[in-house]
Amino acid sequence: MLFSARTVIAPGAGLATDQVALPDEIAWALFGPLVARELGVELPVDRASARVQQALETVMARSWVIVNRAPSLTPTAHLAFHPVRGPDSVVRLHPLVAGLLDAD
């Protein structure tokens, strides 16, 4: 539970079936320590810097995110996705995958 977040899951157009769009706050919460380690700086990092933004994109490109839909009683309650940054304040999934997790 070191890196976790909670939010609404909703379908989003323009995503591949293996992608999940994360809001900036969740992306920084999950990947901020990894960005700081990659840049060799202490937390908190300056999020407005172009170098830090690029490092976040690099870390996210080589990572996976497991999305859990509680209750975890079905085989599709845990799915892994490649994270991308999204403009909304909700987690977005491809519409075909959103049905597997009973997303709104």
pLDDT at site 19: 95
Edge-to-edge strands, sheet with 9-11: 9-11, 91-93, 19-22, 78-85, 65-68
pLDDT at site 85: 93
SS3 state of residue 60 = helix
pLDDT at site 54: 93
- Helix and strand numbers (H, E) in the chain are 3, 5
Is pLDDT at 1 greater than 50 in this prediction? Answer: no
pTM (two decimals):
0.82
- In whole numbers, what is the pLDDT of the chain averaged over residues? 85
Kindly report which listed range (4-13, 31-40, 59-68) carries the lowest average pLDDT score. 4-13
Question: How remote is the C-alpha of 46 from its chain's centroid?
Answer: 19
Cβ-based neighbours of 32, under 8 Å, separated by 6 or more: 43, 44, 45
Q: Please give the Cα distance from 84 to 33 (Å, whole number).
A: 17
Is pLDDT at 104 greater than 70 in this prediction? Answer: no
Is pLDDT at 2 greater than 90 in this prediction? Answer: no
pLDDT top residue among 100 and 35: 35
